[in-house]
């Protein structure tokens, strides 16, 4: 299982990575990127089973990354979970229409992430 964690906050990447490890994954099972541009580079070089991305990031935000992933490359069917502070109904709808499989509003706990990961990986 390979996971890509995309967030401009190094603290948030570390928190998400720690939660992923609490769920039984190893440090070797995930990569990190601080924006959509770096994430796209990693996505073009490696296969991932799930993408966990923030919405608000510089250079290429999470929504732009989702649209790019869904429109080209080898990850068009890869599950994407958006983890963001954008919790309004409108933002959720926009993200789902862009191709996000699930949505988590920050702050969150390990149980919420586990539930959402289980949901997208069992499809």
Angle subtended at Cα 115 by Cα 111 and Cα 118, rounded to the nearest 5 degrees: 135
pLDDT tens, residue by residue, 81-104: 999 888 788 988 999 999 999 999
pLDDT tens, residue by residue, 108-117: 888 898 899 8
Polymer length in residues for the chain: 123
Nearest to 54 by CA among 89, 22, 15: 15
Provide CATH code, domain 3-122.
3.40.50.2300
Do the bridges between strand 80-84 and strand 3-6 make them parallel or antiparallel, or are there none, so unpaired? unpaired
Segments making up each domain of the chain, as ranges: 3-122
**What is the pTM (predicted TM-score) of this model?**
0.93
């Amino acid at each position: 299982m390979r996971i890509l964690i995309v967030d401009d906050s190094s603290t948030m990447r570390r928190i998400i990575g720690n939660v992923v490890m609490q769920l039984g994954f190893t440090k070797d099972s995930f990569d990190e990127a601080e924006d959509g541009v770096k994430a796209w580079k990693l996505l073009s070089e490696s296969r991932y089973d799930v993408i966990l991305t923030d919405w608000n990031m510089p250079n290429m935000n999470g929504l732009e990354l989702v649209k790019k992933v869904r429109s080209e490359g080898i990850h068009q069917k890869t599950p994407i979970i958006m983890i963001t502070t954008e919790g309004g109904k409108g933002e959720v709808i926009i993200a789902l229409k862009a191709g996000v499989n699930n949505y988590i509003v920050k702050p969150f706990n390990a149980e919420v992430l586990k539930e959402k990961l289980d949901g997208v990986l069992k499809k």
